[in-house]
Copies of this chain bind each other. A is one copy, B any other.
Amino acid sequence: MKTNVAILGATGYTGVELLRILLNHPSVKITGLSSERFSGIRISDVFPSLSGCDINTKTIDDPSVYKNADVVFSCLPNEKSAEIVPELIKLGKRVIDLSAAFRFSDSKIYKQWYHKHPAPELLKQAVYGLPELFRKDIKKATLVANPGCYPVSVLLPVIPLVKEGIISPDKTIIIDSKSGVTGAGRNPSQELHFSEVNEGFRPYKPMAHRHQPEMESIIKKESGKNVKVAFVPHLLPINRGILSSIYFEVNGEHDFKKAQSVLERFYKNEKFVKILDSNTLPNPAYLKGSNYCYISMSYNQNLNHIVVFSAIDNLGKGASGNAVQNMNIMMGFDEAEGIIHLPLFP
């Protein structure tokens, strides 16, 4: 018997990517889709790429959207998700929240960067949904907070290196990240208008982006160490993909060799994280539509600096692919079910 699934906020980019994956997922049936901007419209009319999917979207006020669902994915804005998820939990649903609403254990940090949390008691219960790090907790979770796209690209290489003492909390890590435009959502705005983005490239919110405290708090939670992160995101004129270039100082070449082997060992049995040798540099062009993360690193001995490159599809491992991986773990499916397909290149 198939698991019934609802998607709230289905007409944004994480929504359409979830649908693309789940409509071909052998163990899942879509039973409800919500959308405020496109309510009442057949989803395949909103996204002609979903041809054959005849489900009509409803507004979120209509409980029939999620009534029959065993699992609910929320792709709603943070505030909306923070409000509705507690209700869903009360109804006994399993929830995978793609917003930031339940990513922080500490409601004070959440308030500082987002807004006053309406359900702080749920923060302790929520599990941070990065399977390679928190698989055991995800298995038992009712509420999974799917990570931010930039944090996925950063935490996968950084946490093992912090835990093994290669990255020292004394030194700030410099994280220069670049993301495709789907990471900024689907709502039209002047600055995401085609001709404003095309043939350009720009930083935004330098060292003041909300994913910085998310990274720092998860590093702390996992390693016990207060690592500081100088994080600057940039906007790439492409649809999909994140490349993070992560710089930190080490004590010598032995640290570089150790770093390489730490990551190789840590991810040896992981299907979706590939540690490349240092001659192969990651490029999100090779990851489109997939749930993979590619990582490699380089070292300069005169400078004693390592740079780690980490690439994902921001809608894949950075959002919807990873969310389905979480669902697979929660429901006891094969972890790779529905997301094992290869990336589209070119």
A residues within 8 Å of B by Cβ?
13, 16, 20, 23-24, 45, 47-51, 172, 174, 176, 178, 180-182, 186-190, 192-204, 206-208, 228, 230, 232, 234, 236-241, 243, 245, 247, 249, 274, 276, 280-290, 292, 294, 298-300, 302-303, 305, 307, 309, 340-346
Contact = CB atoms under 8 A, between A and B. Distances in A.
A158 to B, nearest CB: 16
Contacts of A189: 188
A47 B345 contact: yes
Contacts of A240: 199, 346
Given A48-B280, A201-B284, A298-B206, A195 B239 contact: yes
A239 B186 contact: no
Given A182-B195, A230-B300, A342-B24, A204 B49 contact: no
A320 to B, nearest CB: 12
A176 B176 CA distance: 7
A178 B286 CA distance: 19
A346 B207 contact: no
A143 to B, nearest CB: 28
A341 B50 CA distance: 10
Contacts of A299: 207
Contacts of A197: 194
Contact of A245 (B234, B289, B305): B234
A286 B24 contact: no
A341 B243 CA distance: 27
Given A13-B346, A201-B178, A274-B51, A307 B206 contact: yes
Nearest to A274: B51
A241 B201 CA distance: 8
Given A49-B343, A230-B247, 18 more contacts: A24-B341, A48-B283, A174-B247, A181-B198, A186-B193, A188-B188, A192-B193, A199-B240, A199-B241, A200-B286, A201-B283, A202-B243, A202-B285, A203-B281, A203-B307, A230-B305, A232-B245, A232-B298
